[in-house]
């Protein structure tokens, strides 16, 4: 039986997951600051490497099955049991393969005992998270995202609780990875209980080869996209650690700290993309004019947010790193200043990607990500041996610019976006951000970080208001959006 989709439920589900992800981002960043300060740059480098390596291999467990489960179950809920049992049975086999590959690689590379142990534990996390992904896929098909939203928060609370308790008890980095294992194990139990209770699922070993062939055929495009996205997202950390030699852990820790701070802002474009994607999908069919206007407004809001963040962080990067992490992470300052430039292109790429996916250009979007992945790998291999973690930062910046440029080129083939409006917006944001940047540099020595940031925000928006880049209408739109979400 097909599910019925109501606009209010879709909006509510989007709000649940967006708020949960935003809250999770805040918790994750605060927790990362705490643990990185506690264990130091070398051990945090080991920690990031273990998680990054196993995350890459985790895509070979799911092989694109989870989005297919969501789509097919949403079409016909009577297929839930046969599809889920077939998928979980296959995942048991792929999990054995993936864990074996991780085990072999970490031993072939002859890493120290501590790093190997971290990877062994992270390998189990990889397996647990893959099964959780499939279980949540079922609830997405049933339009019950509130369970995933709750699980995202509870998982992070368990991780932080176990990890912080371990550090207070004097434990080391191994317990930080065990804390993630505890959160992942909780998530599997939580989702399993919900499936048994809400969906009446009866798990059993089941390999229906007709269903399996159909699932794999449908999953192939998603698997390819997942491989591209995951490799692009984590290969820099893995290559830096491997090619960095004896100092690989330190390089990874310094780079990872700058990377974490840069991507702490990612929940903003994620929320915007979640809001505009359904509208874009609808307008692609009904109105190209409204589609273009929606794209323009999304780009507008993300530009006026991302440009000042980039300039502001560049101005106070040294103060940020030294205040939050201390002298041990001083080497993270330059990578942060390089990476934060990519934030503007990262933000802008979200409405670009949403437009391509909404307008049936998902294959082109996947190709773009694949090209970007190759560029990232090549640049990292070329730059890391000579420039270490600075080279990785440059490679990441160039890769994000390439991804945005490839997507933005296609946008012009789909809609007539308002070039004049976007150029004027960019010009006004740049002028306001540059003046804010100069003022923050002048005041940096006199003000604390907690006063400097609000001063920068006020100066920027005051200048943007005076340049008519942000007026009363925009303030009212944001106010109404917040009030509607809170009500």
Supply the pLDDT for residue 487. 43
Mean pLDDT, each 10-residue run in order, the chain (487 residues)? 45 58 81 94 96 95 87 80 88 95 95 96 97 89 79 92 96 96 96 89 80 84 88 94 94 96 86 77 84 90 94 96 93 97 95 88 88 96 96 97 95 90 93 96 91 94 84 51 43
Supply the pLDDT for residue 430. 96
**pLDDT tens digits for range 187-198:** 999 999 999 988
Contact 372, 399 (CB under 8 A): yes
Supply the pLDDT for residue 15. 57
**pLDDT tens digits for range 5-36:** 444 444 554 555 666 767 778 888 899 999 99
Rounded to whole angstroms, the Cα distance separating 371 from 20 reads 32
Contact 313, 340 (CB under 8 A): yes
């Amino acid at each position: 039986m097909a599910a019925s989709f109501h606009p209010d439920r879709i909006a509510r589900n989007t709000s649940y997951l967006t708020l949960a992800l935003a809250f999770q981002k805040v918790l994750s960043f605060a927790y990362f600051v705490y643990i990185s300060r506690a264990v130091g740059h070398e051990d945090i480098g080991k920690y990031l490497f273990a998680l990054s390596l196993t995350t890459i291999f985790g895509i070979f467990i799911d092989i694109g099955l989870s989005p297919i489960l969501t789509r097919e179950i949403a079409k016909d809920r009577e297929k839930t049991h046969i599809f889920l049992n077939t998928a979980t049975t296959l995942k048991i086999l792929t999990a054995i393969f993936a864990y074996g590959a991780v085990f072999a690689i970490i031993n072939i590379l002859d890493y120290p005992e501590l790093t190997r142990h971290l990877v062994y534990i992270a390998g189990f996390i990889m397996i647990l998270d893959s099964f959780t992904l499939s279980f949540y896929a079922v609830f997405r098909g049933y339009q019950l995202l509130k369970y995933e939203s709750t699980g995202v928060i509870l998982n992070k609370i368990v991780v932080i609780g176990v990890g912080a308790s371990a550090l207070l008890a004097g434990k080391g980095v191994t317990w930080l990875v065990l804390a993630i294992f505890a959160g992942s194990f909780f998530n599997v139990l939580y989702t399993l209980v919900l499936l048994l209770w809400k969906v009446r699922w009866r798990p059993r070993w089941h390999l229906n080869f007709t269903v399996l062939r159909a699932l794999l055929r449908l999953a192939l495009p998603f698997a390819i996209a997942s491989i591209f996205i995951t490799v692009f997202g984590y290969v820099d950390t893995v290559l830096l650690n491997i090619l960095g030699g004896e100092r690989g852990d330190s390089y990874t820790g310094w780079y990872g700290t700058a990377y974490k701070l840069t991507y702490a802002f990612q929940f903003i474009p994620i929320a915007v993309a979640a809001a505009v994607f359904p509208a874009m999908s609808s307008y692609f069919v009904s109105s190209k004019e409204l589609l273009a206007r929606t794209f323009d407004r999304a780009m507008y809001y993300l530009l006026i947010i991302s440009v000042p963040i980039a300039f502001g962080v560049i101005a106070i990067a040294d103060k940020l790193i030294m205040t939050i992490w201390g002298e041990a992470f001083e080497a993270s300052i330059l990578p942060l200043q390089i990476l934060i430039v990519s934030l503007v292109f990262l933000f802008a790429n979200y409405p670009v990607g949403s437009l391509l996916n909404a307008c049936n250009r998902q294959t082109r979007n996947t190709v773009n990500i694949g090209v970007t992945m190759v560029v990232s790998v090549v640049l990292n291999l070329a730059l890391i041996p000579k420039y270490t973690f600075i080279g990785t930062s440059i490679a990441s910046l160039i890769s994000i610019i390439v991804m945005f440029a490839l997507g933005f080129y296609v946008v012009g083939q789909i809609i007539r976006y308002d070039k004049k409006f976007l150029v004027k917006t960019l010009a006004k944001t740049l002028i306001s951000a540059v003046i804010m940047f100069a003022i923050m540099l002048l005041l940096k020595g006199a003000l604390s970080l907690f006063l400097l940031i609000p001063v920068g925000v006020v100066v920027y928006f005051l200048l943007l208001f005076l340049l008519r880049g942000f007026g009363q209408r925009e303030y009212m739109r944001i106010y109404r959006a917040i009030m509607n979400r809170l009500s």
